[in-house]
Structure formats: C-alpha cells, structure tokens
Chain A
Amino acid sequence: MVLTFWEAVERCSTAPRMEEREFNMKIWKTVTALAKEYGFEYDPEVVVPTDGQLADEVFEAGLKAAVELGVYSRDTQRNVRFTEDEIQEFLRAATGKQSGYGEGVDAVEIVHRTPGSTVEPVVYGAPQTAVYSTPEVAYKIYTLCAQEPSTDGIWGGLVIGPPPPIEGKYEINANHPSEIYQYRKEVELMRKAITAVGRPGMFIRQNAPTAQATIALADPEFGVRPTDPMGGNLFEELKIDWNFANRTAFAIAYHTRVRWSAGHAFIGGFSGGPATAPIVIVAGALLGLFFSGADDEHIKEYGVSTRVGKTHNRIKSRAARSCIYVGSLACQALVRNTRLPVCAQGCDHPVAGAGTAQFYYECAAGEIASVASGSSANPSGGARQFVCPTDHVSPLESKWMGEILKASAGMSLERARGIVETLLSRYEDKLEDGYPEGYTFQQMYDVEKEKVKPEFERFYTHMKDELEDLGVRFKERYA
C-alpha cells in the first residue's frame, strides 16, 4: 500500500522541529556531497545531456537525497522524512499513465515516455499567467488557442485591466473577495471558449494564488471539473505548506482524476548550480508523491504523474543554457528509472515578448530539449516570465509551442542537442539585457475578425521554415 496523503500530512505535525534556514542549508550540503560522491560536474558545452548512465546516477543521487532530506513543512516548521521503502512502494504502484484529462471525445491521457519516444506529448495551450485587459480579450485568446489542433487543453491567465475588472473600478488582490470572484469568472470564460469552438470536454487548468480561491473554481457546470487538473504539491525547493496541501485535500474530496507530484529547483539557490539542481528536482518529484493525493485505488484507475521545474535565480527565461540542461537531465533521470509520466517545463516562460524571433527561438529550444528528454506533457503558454505586460501575448505563440511540441516527438537526444545549440547561439546573449519586448494581441491580430495580421503570419511561416532548416519536422495535421 502506498503511503497516503493523510499520513504525510500527519507527519507534518509530528516530525522533528527545524528552522527553515537549517533545512535550506541541509539541502545544499546534501546535494553537494552527493555530487562529489558521484563526480557530477557541469559542462556548459553539453546543453542536452545524452549520457544515460549520468541520468541513472542522478536518479540514484536524487533518491538518496529524498531519503536524507525529506521535505520541510513551513506551517509546522518540521522536517518530514520518508523511507526509501515508502518511496519505492509508490514507484512500484505507478502504472505508466495518467488518465482523466478532460471528458468525452476531448479527453486525453498522458503516458510514460522515454528519450526519443515517438508518442506525442500532451499540450497545455494558452499563455499561463498572462494578464488581460478585458474579458473580451481573454475570451478571444482562449477561443483562438482552444481551436488549435495541436492543443489538448488550455491554461488560464487573469483579467486585471486596466480598467479594473470588477465593475470597471475594483482591482484584484490575493486573499481578498476579488480574488475568488475574478479567478472564478476567468474559468467561466475558459469553459465558454472551449464550448464555443466545439471542444467542450477539453481540460482547462487554472490556479489562483490562494487555496480558497482555487477551491472556489470547482463547479462541474461553469468552472473546474473533476476531469481538470486541480491540486497542489511541493513548492519551491522541497517545501510543503498548507496553501498547497489544502488544494490537494480538496482535489481528493472533489474526486479529481489528475494527481501529481512536483520537483522544482532554483539554479543558484539552495539547489546549487546545474551539477546539483537535477538532484533536488528528482528528490522533489519522489517526495511529492506523498502529497499528490493519489492512493492505491486512484493510481490503479487513473495513474499518477510528476512535474519537474527549474528557475534560474537571475535569468528570467526557462530557456537559459543551464535551465535546459537541468530540466533535461532531471527529466531523463525520472523517465529512465520510474514509470511516472513526467510533465516538464520546456520553456513556458521565455524572456522575449510575443511575435519576436527570440520568443520563437527560446520556446523552441526549451520544448525540443524537454520532449526529446521524455516529457509527456508540457505547458505551451508563452507569457514572459514575471514581467509580461497586459495583453503582451497572442494565440500564435501558443500555436508555435504546440506545433513544436508535437513535432519533437521521436527526436533523439543527439539531434535535439544540435538544434538547441544552434538556437541558443541566436538568443543566448540577449537573455539578461537587450531582449525584445514584443507585441500585444491587438498589434498582432485583427481583433474584430479574430485573424492574425498578415505580417505576423508571414513571420510565423518564416520561423517555421527556419526551424525546418534546422531539422524540425512539423506535422501537417497541426499546421
């Protein structure tokens, strides 16, 4: 029997007390020692690692780190530990699939992939974390994204104005009545959009800052259904807090199908550098299983999956060289050594703005590396990390990422490495300064006709040609 969410939560109240700083330094010391033990070193020349033995050793180190470190419960200030047997029990139970995304003919499932797998990944379309000026703009973007053949589900942003979205004068703040109301209105827009394009069973994904606002999204008719991903898991570097665990508790009660763990590393943070960060991600992916809300019965019926993520402490693009390396290696480590389908962040957040060559390069590099490394599902959003101004997104970028993701299925690590290297050479010097701000939806589209403007369509075609010249084979059915 796998250890349940409730046992994990109970341990958060009974485990030994520890200061957060002590735990953070323990992460650093543990992974540094493990990297030394295994001889892990980062070579910036290797952007997509192709050494399977290295990936296996990273998994081994991640498992050791998981057992030695456990997780930190922020609300109870305790260090919660789990045994290797408990982790292995969960891994033995994993079925290699995660079903229950969406309903009817629009339903999809993700399956365990390995590097080079020809199985196409599931695509979360629409720009996650984007901010929109009006419900009309948000609705049009959701609609245009949802009708893309390469898109399997859509991810929500938030209408924040200007003008202020509630009655034209009230702003949205976290942990405030406006948060519950506006996030709920957002998923209503998303559901309306997928229905309008004839894909009413498509899954939608939305996540509010607080648990209460996320839970308030649940509504089989207008909001989030049990067949939409909904829940929470570990936050940042091996931390759990009630804000996230509360979401999982509700997900269990709401009978959601999709349950996941999450491993995340901050490159330059307590995870250390690229040589040690993959260990932290693997440890998080393993430990997060206990907070996924999946039990034996659930795993048997719907499966369980994991998500891996990485953020650079300074560079605001997930397609920085070290980010790509860390994400690729952690993904390979997990898919080669478990049956968990891995949902990886390729480059859901570039630093360049919509409609620019750098945007397309960054996203392509991140997604190609991720799919070649065995990722089973990727968010294809395309909102600039943290600093995406209002309406600085368009459906064309969601389409780009979807097409790239589907085209990357079957690509070998070696081929991905060559393509990613070339792409990096075209944007790497502009990741911290000099990156283009990009364009707004209104600049890129004839909003009235809901059609991309000819100059941006031509540029899109040009970018596809450029990627094809590098060896990416786009699939006609998604064009």
Chain B
Amino acid sequence: MSEESILKKLADSILSFDEEVAKAAAQEALDAGVDPLKALEKGLKVGIDVVGDKFSRDELFLPHLLMAADALNAAVSVLKKNIPREAVEKMRVGTIVIATVKDDIHDVGKNIVSALLSASGFEVHDLGKDVNVALIVDKAVAVDADIIMASALMTTTMRRQKGIIEELEWKGIRDQFLVMVGGGPTTQEWAVEIGADGYGKNAAEAVAVAKKMMENK
C-alpha cells in the first residue's frame, strides 16, 4: 500500500468513529514505516478536520465529535509508543482544563468546545459544570495545564470567570496559565475587562484562539 493510501486510511479511520479501527490504521502506518508525525499531521488530523467541517455544517453532531476524539486518542497512543520522547512532545498541542463555573449547570456549549479541543489534539481535562474556582485552579496546577477555559451562561454567574483570575493572582501563579472565557453573556470586551487572555464566541472560534495562543506561547 502506498504512503498516500495509508494516510487516507488513517483519515478515514477517524470518520469510522471506532477506536479499534483507528488503532489498527495507526499500527499499519507504523508497520509500513510511515513517520508517526506525518501519520498524525497528514492522516489523522485530516480526518479530524473533516469531522470539524461537517459539524459546522450540521452534518455531524456532538456525539460524533466525542467519538472522533476517542478514535484520535486511541490512534495517537499507538503512534506514541514508537517515537522518541521529543517527537511525542511535538505532537502535543497543549493541555487544557475546562469547566462551567460554579452555580451554572448549562454545559452543552462547554461540552462541544471540550470535544472539539480533544478532536484537535489537545489534552483536555473537563471538570464538568457547577465547578468552583479553587477546584479549577488546583486541577490546572496538578496537570500543568497551558490554558484554563471557563464557561458561563448567565449574567449572574459570569463573574465567577473573573474569580479564576483573582485566584491565580492570589496564589501568585497568574503567569503560569493562559485563561480563556466564553459562554452566552460573555464578550471580547468582558474578557479584556477581567484580564482574560482569550475569548471564543463559539466552539470553533474557541479552538482557533486556543491554537493561536499555544503557537504564541
């Protein structure tokens, strides 16, 4: 099988939404001597991009994002076993802790962002909804996160996002993390006002901003 065919098979394996299929495609790529980084960039990520595009056109839905992310992670776990540590580090897009803030139980939007991030290669620690500031910050410290993302869907809960920045400042670790905010009532102006580093008006934009922030880090 040509390298081109193997890369296409990797991309297609993501669209199978099946972890076993993705793992088998990754192993096949390794066995054929395909560079693991190339397998990731030109194979698996092509499939992920297709999933993202179809999601934005309402042809695929949140469950597909989750299954695609699972398939990607399964394939990457196979590729990682066969490449040097430095190369593994290159494959890592970034680590994110994400949560909906305390007293806010709206989490569908956050779930979509979380799934899209995973599908984009980020290591995502999703703490769920109604999560207090201390837990979010503690988790970010524990996993050495690059970015903390906080979602709020109500005007009466969005100030909890500011609380995250205050908590980081109080602990003297503000400069260790990038902070992004999002959710219905929030805006770019709000992000600037509270001292956040980024804002996403929707899931796709949140992922794009997170990638950009990691490139500039």
Interface residues of A (CB under 8 A from B): 20-21, 24-25, 28, 74, 131, 158, 160, 171-175, 179, 209-210, 235-237, 241, 243, 266-273, 311, 313-314, 316, 322, 385-387
Q: B178 an interface residue at 8 Å Cβ cutoff?
A: no
Given A172-B156, A173-B157, A210:B66 Cβ within 8 A = no
**A211 smallest CB distance to B (angstroms):** 11
Nearest A residue to B163, CB-CB: A173
**B202 smallest CB distance to A (angstroms):** 6
Nearest B residue to A208, CB-CB: B156
Nearest A residue to B184, CB-CB: A386
Closest 8 A-B residue pairs measured CB to CB? A386-B184, A28-B63, A174-B156, A174-B103, A175-B103, A269-B62, A174-B157, A266-B108
Given A171-B159, A386-B184, A387-B184, A314:B56 Cβ within 8 A = yes
Cβ–Cβ contact A386 & B203, under 8 A: no
A-B contact pairs, 26 of them (CB 8 A): A25-B66, A28-B63, A74-B105, A131-B155, A160-B155, A160-B156, A172-B155, A209-B156, A210-B103, A237-B108, A243-B105, A268-B61, A268-B112, A269-B62, A269-B111, A270-B61, A270-B62, A270-B63, A272-B63, A273-B61, A313-B61, A313-B108, A314-B56, A385-B184, A386-B184, A387-B187
Given A174-B156, A209-B157, A25:B184 Cβ within 8 A = no
Within 8 A of A (CB), among B99-143: 102-109, 111-112, 128
- Chain A CB within 10 Å, residue with most, of B56, B58, B109: B58
- Tell me the interface secondary structure of chain B in the complex: loop
Interface flags for B61-75 (1: CB within 8 Å of A; 0: not) read 111001000000000
**What's the Cα separation between A236 and B129 when bound, in Å?**
13
Q: B185 an interface residue at 8 Å Cβ cutoff?
A: yes
**B118 smallest CB distance to A (angstroms):** 12
Q: Point out the residues of chain B lying under 8 angstroms from A74, CB to CB.
A: 105
Please tell me which one of the listed residues B102, B157, B159, B203 contacts residue A314 in the complex, with CB atoms under 8 A apart: B203
Q: Point out the residues of chain A lying under 8 angstroms from B61, CB to CB.
A: 28, 268-273, 313
**What's the Cα separation between A158 and B55 when bound, in Å?**
35
**What's the Cα separation between A171 and B56 when bound, in Å?**
37
- Tell me the interface secondary structure of chain A in the complex: loop
Cβ–Cβ contact B185 & A386, under 8 A: yes
Q: Point out the residues of chain A lying under 8 angstroms from B66, CB to CB.
A: 21, 25
Q: B154 an interface residue at 8 Å Cβ cutoff?
A: yes
**B8 smallest CB distance to A (angstroms):** 26
Cβ–Cβ contact A269 & B157, under 8 A: no
**What's the Cα separation between A314 and B202 when bound, in Å?**
7
Q: Point out the residues of chain A lying under 8 angstroms from B55, CB to CB.
A: 268
**What's the Cα separation between A131 and B155 when bound, in Å?**
9
Q: Point out the residues of chain B lying under 8 angstroms from A314, CB to CB.
A: 56, 58, 202-203
Q: Point out the residues of chain A lying under 8 angstroms from B63, CB to CB.
A: 24-25, 28, 270, 272
**What's the Cα separation between A273 and B62 when bound, in Å?**
10
Cβ–Cβ contact B184 & A179, under 8 A: no
Q: Point out the residues of chain A lying under 8 angstroms from B107, CB to CB.
A: 236
